[in-house]
Amino acid sequence: MSTERKKRRVTDFAYEDEWKPPAQVLSDWMTRVYRHRLTTTSGGNLSMLDDDGIFYVTPKGGDKAFVDPQDVAYRPLNSNVPFKGRCPPSTEFPVHEAVYAARKDVNAILHAHSQSLVAFSIAEDTQDRTPNTLLLAESAWSVGTVGLVPYFLPGSQKLADAVAESFRQGADCVILQNHGVFCTGVSLDEAYMRFTSLESLAAATIQASAMVPPYSLCPLRKEDLVKADRPREATSPVEFQRNVSMEEKQTRTDLLKFIKRAYQQGLISSTSGSFSARVPFSNQTLGEGGGSGFTNPCAFVITPTGMDRHRLELSDLVFVESCDFGEGETEMSASVGGDGGFVKSAGMHSPSRAVGTHAAIYRQNPNVSAVMLAQPPAAVAFCITDAPFVSAGIPESFIVLGPVPVLQFEDAMRGGLVAETVKSAPVVLMRNSGVLAVGESLLKAFDRLEVCDAMARVQILARRRGAIRYLTDEEREEIEEKFLGGKKEKAKETGESKNGSASGHLKEKMEGPGCCC
């Protein structure tokens, strides 16, 4: 580890945080942690360092739903100077100071008692106290290394020493036995994203483990993860001249509304969720060469990688153009919003890691106008186990989803294969990746994603009660005749058995996202 503390850049901060006083930043983040039910009124604490080495920490006790900035305690880091502020510092401040001393690359720390991670922390089996980040690629990329320390009295020097040692050995998050979790980052934004990603993974793992009968968890191999996290040069923002059309502005506005809605509904977390929407292709050009020689062009806007979904703005969405060269080769370029003219990409956002898959879907499926890849915990439980998912629980889910196939992780990384799959299945479970939903509109794609997660929750609950009675083949055929325009070609689904039995649903015949309701 470096012996000098890492200096933060403006881009390390979350949005407007760099312009706020540190005490206000801590107040705002603690409110957010509480409002998302990630801690309780009395539990949890946050801290950060400013560029002058002043240590700020939330106060002892009080209401975590609202921390008055004047109550935040502060003093020079690791000094004997008395704390300033209206209230004394959190009881856990020795842990925070010890971690800062151990890790010079850390500038912010989050400690909370979120339900799923606390459930892990109180497990009797010591091997079952930390979630396996290899179960979900997004978690492996965003969480980092997870450590574990035994129980020590809260606020004690023994606890501070143990936690600091775990971070010194390279942990990014540390679970405390019978207590909670500490997460670190260069900013509170990064610490919070690690925290919520780990909590979401823990929730999905618990959902998966609670299914009856028990099903095997299916973690990734590290080598698979390395292959999937391919170099970003091909999808990093580049400089190219274009005008921002009214169609693109409207598409950005519509897409952002559904991103915010998905976050509010718990379908995505602060780090997860790769959403895009097609932009009608006009006279935008691919690079300065003007696009000559390209075929099958498409344009879309997509979520950026590594940015808080809750606080995204219109200009954060990345514009992407993709064209086929022929012979299986593809060229893509990307830029972040702007007022038109020459868009500079230096220091700006990169598109989602899944941008290649989105591009392939749009190129091979002209009818698709929206693509959504998300990791809601209930649906993810079916993505990290070999448990079967069957859409034919009720008429609504059968009509909206159709048969839901599963793609193995290595296949899910092949954009062309995914694009071919969604031609006959608008919703796909992608092993160790999440749920992919496409639609002729943002509303249809969102409806499919939401219904898939709802049905996953239903099946998990139903399994706890006993055997499940799915719609029979005759009942499915009757639904197809009435709502889907007749019997469709069968598509492979995970099914009640190995190969499933749900009949097909290739194209919707309803107006809007609808079902039988």
In one letter, which amino acid is 147?
G
Q: Give the CA diameter of the chain.
A: 78
Q: Are 319 and 336 in contact (CB under 8 A)?
A: yes
Q: Are 351 and 320 in contact (CB under 8 A)?
A: yes
In one letter, which amino acid is 80?
N
What is the distance, to the nearest Å, from the Cα of residue 221 to the centroid of all Cα atoms in its chain?
20
Q: What is the pLDDT of residue 333?
A: 52
CATH for 10-209 (3.90.930.12, 3.40.225.10, 3.40.50.1820, 3.90.180.10):
3.40.225.10
Element holding 22 (H helix, E strand): helix 22-35
Contact residues for 311 (Cβ-Cβ < 8 A; gap 6+): 14, 15
Q: What is the pLDDT of residue 497?
A: 35
Q: Please tell me the distance from the alpha carbon of residue 361 to that of residue 443, in angstroms, as a whole number.
A: 17
Residue 166, both tokens: 């775990």
Angle between helix 22-35 and helix 188-209 axes, rounded to 10 deg: 10
Q: Are 311 and 260 in contact (CB under 8 A)?
A: no
How far, in Å, are 182, 191, 274, 391, 481 from residue 432 at the CA level? 25, 23, 15, 20, 35
The class level of CATH for 376-517 reads alpha beta
Q: Please tell me the distance from the alpha carbon of residue 99 to that of residue 165, in angstroms, as a whole number.
A: 8
The domain segmentation of the chain, as residue ranges, is: 10-209, 230-352, 376-517
Residue 318, both tokens: 């990345």
In one letter, which amino acid is 23?
A
Q: What is the pLDDT of residue 464?
A: 86
- According to DSSP, the residues that pair with 371 across neighbouring strands are 276, 438
Q: Are 426 and 131 in contact (CB under 8 A)?
A: no
- Residue 294 has φ and ψ, to the nearest 5°, of -90, 150
- Residue 373 has φ and ψ, to the nearest 5°, of -120, 120
Beta strands in 92-162 (DSSP E): 108-112, 146-149
On the question of a common fold for 10-209 and 376-517, the answer reads: yes
Q: What is the pLDDT of residue 7?
A: 53
- pLDDT per 10-residue tile (average), the chain, 517 residues: 51 64 95 93 94 95 92 93 94 97 96 96 88 92 94 96 97 97 96 95 92 85 72 50 83 97 93 92 47 59 90 90 53 44 41 89 94 95 93 94 94 91 96 96 97 96 90 93 69 42 31 46
Residue in the structure block whose two tokens are 């959403």: 275
pTM for the model stands at 0.84
DSSP three-state, residue 427 = strand
Three-state SS string over 158-186 comes to: HHHHHHHHHHHCCCCEEEECCCEEEEEEC
- According to DSSP, the residues that pair with 74 across neighbouring strands are 56, 84
